[in-house]
Every structure is written in structure tokens, then in C-alpha cells.
């Protein structure tokens, strides 16, 4: 990845759990950087910038209103993230993922392709890609812990995508699902309290 912002200097990261953070469509890593102080201090957080230029921001792959995507685009970005994780993972005790909006689609795609690599996953106001080739590639030996936070009235993620996401998460993960009325397509303070509790329970407590 060309642009990565860390929550800790390099000399403080060794042996810590890594939280890889991925932003939404048309945004950039600064949206994730703003969350660093609201997440458990025990993590080394890394906010990645998506490789696609989208208007004045960035994204992971092209999307339209119906969340239609190009599979080659998805796999190209996914492989870039996998390669980056591979370059740093030996410095860390574990790797977890957090994705917002399109970043949740990325996080779940990474999980689908290599589920054993990740300790826990957080998805915020996002979706799981409905893709036959990805579905054929899945091989879960266990259900990974997954936190899914959203507003039921979020107008950005359409109903079909939400229904598919809910079905997939219930089938494949150990799901903690929370809704936040009035939040919209955003991330709320109350949600981050719950995310932090989830990460402490499923990552920090397991490593203590």
C-alpha cells in the first residue's frame, strides 16, 4: 500500500495486535485516523488508503448506486492489502480488520479468502459483496468473531445488500450485531464504545 498511517511509532508496535482499517468510497485514510483515539490503546492501528482515485478521494474498487462491482477490481485491491499485511504481520501478535462502508466489503472479502488469518473483524455501515466466485472460494473451519454496526435507516446501503449481508454474516461468523437509530451512514460515539468492548473481549483478552 502506498499510503498507510499508523497509530503508534514503529518502535512501539512490536508484539502488539494489529488492526487494519479501511475507509469508505470516495474518502481516504484520514476518516479512519480520526478513530484511533476511540479504540483500545493496546492495538497498533493502521489506516490504509484505497488504490482507486474516486473524485477527490479514494476507494477500493468502482461501485454504482446498486453496489455493482468488477470482480477483477476487487481481487486486485484485495491482493494489494494481503501483500501489505504479509509484509508486517510477523511484527504483531495477531491481525484484525475494521472496515467502514466499502471498507467493510473489503474486510469481509479478505476474511472470505483467508479466514484463518484474522482474529476478529469489525464492519461499520457497510455490506458483504454478493459474488458467486467469492462464495465458491469460502472455506470456514470455524466462525470468526464479527461486529456489525449500522443504522437500520441507512439510505446508502440498499435493502438487497443489507439482506444479503445479514444472511451471510449469520451463516459464517460469530456475529455481534448492533443498530444505532439516527446515526445514518456514519460512525457514532456509542458505536465506537461497543466496537472497543468487542475488540477487548475477542482480541486483547485472548492475548493477555
**Predicted pLDDT at 115:** 94
Mean pLDDT (the chain) is 93
Kindly report, residue by residue over 9-22, the tens digit of the pLDDT: 999 999 999 999 99
22 contacts 3 by C-beta, under 8 angstroms: no
Query: Which of the four pLDDT bands, split at 50, 70 and 90, describes residue 50?
Result: very high
By percentage, how much of the chain surpasses pLDDT 90?
84
Q: CA–CA separation, 87 vs 129, rounded Å?
A: 26
Please name every residue paired with 147 in a beta bridge, in sequence order, or none if there are none.
Answer: 122, 176
Kindly report, residue by residue over 53-88, the tens digit of the pLDDT: 998 999 999 887 656 667 888 899 999 999 999 999
**Predicted pLDDT at 68:** 64
SS3 for 134-162 is HHHHCCCCCCCEEEEEECCCCCCCCHHHH
Higher pLDDT, 132 or 164: 164
**Predicted pLDDT at 1:** 67
pLDDT of residue 203 exceeding 80, the answer is yes
Query: Which of the four pLDDT bands, split at 50, 70 and 90, describes residue 135?
Result: confident
List of domains in the chain: 4-207 (3.40.50.1820)
**Predicted pLDDT at 133:** 81
pLDDT of residue 30 exceeding 70, the answer is yes
**Predicted pLDDT at 67:** 64
Q: CA–CA separation, 129 vs 9, rounded Å?
A: 34
DSSP secondary structure code for residue 49 in this structure: P
Amino acid at each position: 500500500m502506498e499510503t498507510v498511517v499508523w497509530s503508534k511509532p514503529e518502535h512501539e508496535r512490536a508484539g502488539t495486535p494489529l488492526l487494519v482499517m479501511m475507509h469508505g468510497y470516495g474518502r481516504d485514510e484520514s476518516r479512519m485516523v480520526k478513530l484511533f483515539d476511540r479504540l483500545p490503546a493496546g492495538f497498533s492501528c493502521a489506516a490504509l488508503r484505497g488504490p482507486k482515485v474516486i473524485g477527490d478521494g479514494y476507494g477500493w474498487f468502482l461501485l454504482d448506486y446498486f453496489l455493482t462491482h468488477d470482480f477483477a477490481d476487487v481481487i486486485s485491491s484485495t491482493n494489494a492489502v494481503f501483500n501489505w499485511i504479509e509484509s508486517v504481520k510477523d511484527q504483531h501478535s495477531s491481525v484484525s480488520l475494521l472496515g467502514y462502508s466499502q471498507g467493510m466489503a473489503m474486510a469481509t472479502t479478505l476474511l472470505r479468502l483467508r479466514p484463518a488469518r484474522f482474529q476478529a473483524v469489525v464492519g461499520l455501515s457497510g455490506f458483504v459483496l454478493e459474488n458467486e466466485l467469492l462464495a465458491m472460494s469460502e472455506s470456514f473451519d470455524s466462525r470468526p468473531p464479527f461486529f456489525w454496526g449500522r443504522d437500520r435507516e441507512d439510505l446508502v446501503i440498499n435493502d438487497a445488500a443489507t439482506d444479503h449481508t445479514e444472511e451471510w454474516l449469520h451463516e459464517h461468523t460469530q456475529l455481534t450485531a448492533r443498530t444505532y437509530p439516527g446515526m445514518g451512514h456514519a460512525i457514532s460515539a456509542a458505536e465506537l464504545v461497543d466496537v472497543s468492548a468487542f475488540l477487548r473481549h475477542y482480541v486483547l483478552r485472548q492475548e493477555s
